[in-house]
Structure 1
Amino acid sequence: MKRILFCIGLVLPILLGAAWHWSSTSINRPLSITEPTTVIEAKAGDGLIKVLARLERLGLIPSARASRLALRIQGHSVNLKVGEYELQQGDTLLELLGRFERGDVVLYPVTIPEGVTFDWMLTYLKSLDFIRHTLTGPDDAQLKSYRFAADYLEGQFLPETYFVTRGETDVSVLDRSFTAMQQTLSAVWSSCDPKTPLKSPQEALILASIVERETGVPNERPQIAGVFTRRLTKGMRLQTDPTIIYGLGDNYDGNLRRVHLNDTKNPYNTYLIKGLPPTPIALPGTAAISAVCNPTTDDSLYFVAKGDGSHAFSATLGEHNRNVRRYQLNRRSNYRSSPAP
């Protein structure tokens, strides 16, 4: 009996050591990843067994059962967080499970450019296959919750890049964008020039949307904002084409004609109406909002596109007309309304 116990005492440590070595090697061995990157999803309700079985089916590990045993021997228990996880060549099972534990899920960028419309934003969100679509359109009842700041949706969402996980809803993206805009607008308005002719944050938002649509060169935003704020202070009409184009909607064919400038039925016709249009005409970014609250303080009242994305500014109508003749009536062959890429 003593001899048996002696033999067990000799063999058991060897077996335990071998098991420990095997299990450690198994979970620290690089997964069999053949592609530069591979994505695996941990779904709601998945446990470790299901995920290991999925890895086995994909050929990433030789055996789900063996891997589970190895993890038990090593004392690893994993709390899986739902989401997609990216695997790269050289990753081990232990590294992957660490990502599951931390929730290092794959994030997808949702980029809303400055100056696009709210309708554009909705269409863009609908085109993304990693977004779960719950909205039926611009009249969906879910959008009513965003109307507490104003009775319109245009301009109320901050154009920015938002990172989302697969399966997040279109409404969750709107929530983040709406909150970001309200916070930004409140912060910028609090530092607004006290001499501004703008009477509320919403008026600042409306003018910022016009500045955004007029701007081709980013550093001109404060100059363009300065022209518009001085015109408002003096009681001059804004006379800006983007507002008319917005009011035309689908009827705009790419050409702005004199009949459009004389259209009394277009509430966005700033060649005829005094003051600001009734709503924003786009989604302005933070820089445009900051520009209208703190514009330049020169004496320019006019600007005209030069054909390279920038503008020529002037303080008198005579100087402005000369710039129009120079840059608009005698356009170069390479004339463009935005800077070259």
Structure 2
Amino acid sequence: MKRLLWVLFGVVILGVVAAGGAWVWVQREVQRAAAPPGAPTVEFVVSKGTTGRGLGRQLVSAKLINDGRMWRWFIFRRGAFAPKAGRHLVSPSMTMAEIATALESPPLPEDKPFVIVEGWRLRDTDAALAAAKLITPGAYVEAASHPERYKAPFQLPQGTLEGYLYPETYGVVPGAFNVEELIQRQLDTFAERFYLPHREALARGKRTLHEVVVMASMLEREEPVPAQRAIVAGILWKRIDKGFPLGVDATSRYSLSEWNDRKAFLQRLRDTTDPWNTRHRKGLPPGAIGSPTVESLQAALAPQSNEYWYYLHDSERRLHPSRNAEEHEALRRKYNVY
């Protein structure tokens, strides 16, 4: 009998030890992060109506925790847990307790898309931002007129950032919009999409970055088909190198309040003193005439060598290059382009 009691006592002791070991193991797993310290944060979305226990599978799928069962145990032991629906920034370096605290915090503000159209001038973007009630009129132009406020892996121009602010759809938060932050994001996108992938080619080429940007801004307006912009670039660079006026009428529209104001445009074409009139002035215009896309920038950097000196577009905007003035005039008459 006494021996049996000692056996039962031993079983109880072993059970207690095993339970204690299991408890220690569970606590260690709950406190162990899914990744070493320093892992980058990611955006995790809590859907409306999702329960705290129900988040376990999603957190495992996002590689933010290792075991959904441990998460459910943690939530059970933690007690009250009310995750807020929306977007949250969390990291796999966080413990479950830290993740839970982050998911109970106010979510990130909901941003809305704002489209900056290819070829837009600073004033066009300014007008669109003002119409969306994100800025007071003129705030974007003013902020873009101080390049010294911003950072870039290339030398920023003097005067304004026209041509360097990449046209793209950007997420903005109404009520918490900062115009200088948007401009910095545009510069960062310009660097990411064009400058960094092409900086070696820029260093080897005979054109400066600024010259490429100015040319690209004209190509964006002059040629609607991206695949044909290298042909037009070849013609325009050839004209510059040989000392001929560019004859790009889009430059005469740049300083107009309304781009499509035909009456004001025709007056500018007749003004031989206008520095933007490339029918009369030789060389590049004083600056970029809008925001070029990467396709235009690439065409300006790597123009297609060709035999053409002129080009025009028909009523369907198809490109027709020509080798000399006689061919050009014949195409004018054929397509009624004047």
Cα offsets for 1:201-233 (capped at 9, x unmatched) = 011101110001112222221121121112122
- Paired residue type of 2:156: A
Cα offsets for 1:143-162 (capped at 9, x unmatched) = 45259711223212011112
Aligned to 1:168: 177
Asked if structure 2 preserves the Cα contact closer than 8 Å seen for 1:135 and 1:171, the reply is no
**Does 2:243 correspond to 1:235?**
yes
Asked if structure 1 preserves the Cα contact closer than 8 Å seen for 2:166 and 2:187, the reply is yes
Instruction: Give the match's secondary structure for 1:138.
Output: helix
Query: For 1:262-341, what aligned pairs fall within 5 Å after superposition?
Result: 262-329=270-337
Change in CA separation of 1:99 and 1:119 when aligned onto 2, cut-off 3 Å: farther
**Does 2:198 correspond to 1:188?**
yes
Aligned to 2:141: 138
Structure 1 residue runs without a partner (length 5+): 1-29, 33-70, 85-96, 331-341
Aligned to 1:110: 114
Return the alpha-carbon distance in structure 1 between the equivalents of residues 272 and 244 of structure 2: 17
Deviates more, 1:184-193 or 1:150-159: 184-193
Query: For 1:49-64, what aligned pairs fall within 5 Å after superposition?
Result: none
Aligned to 1:43: none
- Paired residue type of 1:112: I
Aligned to 2:156: 149
Cα offsets for 1:66-123 (capped at 9, x unmatched) = xxxxx88763546869979xxxxxxxxxxxx996669565332121111010111122
Quote how far apart the aligned CAs of 1:320 are: 1.0
Return the alpha-carbon distance in structure 2 between the equivalents of residues 150 and 80 of structure 1: 45
Return the alpha-carbon distance in structure 2 between the equivalents of residues 100 and 135 of structure 1: 40
Return the alpha-carbon distance in structure 2 between the equivalents of residues 141 and 244 of structure 1: 22
Structure 2 residue runs without a partner (length 5+): 1-47, 51-74, 89-100
Deviates more, 1:258-267 or 1:166-175: 258-267
The one of 203, 206, 210 aligned to 2:218: 210
Name the Cα RMSD after superposition.
4.0
Change in CA separation of 1:201 and 1:248 when aligned onto 2, cut-off 3 Å: same
Give the TM-score of the pair, scaled to structure 2.
0.62
Aligned to 1:48: none
Asked if structure 2 preserves the Cα contact closer than 8 Å seen for 1:133 and 1:169, the reply is no
Return the alpha-carbon distance in structure 2 between the equivalents of residues 264 and 189 of structure 1: 37
Q: How many residues align?
A: 252
Change in CA separation of 1:259 and 1:121 when aligned onto 2, cut-off 3 Å: closer
Cα offsets for 1:180-205 (capped at 9, x unmatched) = 22452354353249565x3x101110
Cα offsets for 1:262-305 (capped at 9, x unmatched) = 42221011111111011101111111101111121221121111
- Paired residue type of 2:212: A
Return the alpha-carbon distance in structure 2 between the equivalents of residues 134 and 76 of structure 1: 48
Asked if structure 2 preserves the Cα contact closer than 8 Å seen for 1:83 and 1:165, the reply is no
Asked if structure 2 preserves the Cα contact closer than 8 Å seen for 1:134 and 1:171, the reply is no
Return the alpha-carbon distance in structure 2 between the equivalents of residues 223 and 190 of structure 1: 22
The one of 186, 190, 195 aligned to 1:177: 186
Return the alpha-carbon distance in structure 2 between the equivalents of residues 193 and 316 of structure 1: 33
Identity %: 23
Asked if structure 2 preserves the Cα contact closer than 8 Å seen for 1:134 and 1:169, the reply is no
Return the alpha-carbon distance in structure 2 between the equivalents of residues 226 and 258 of structure 1: 27
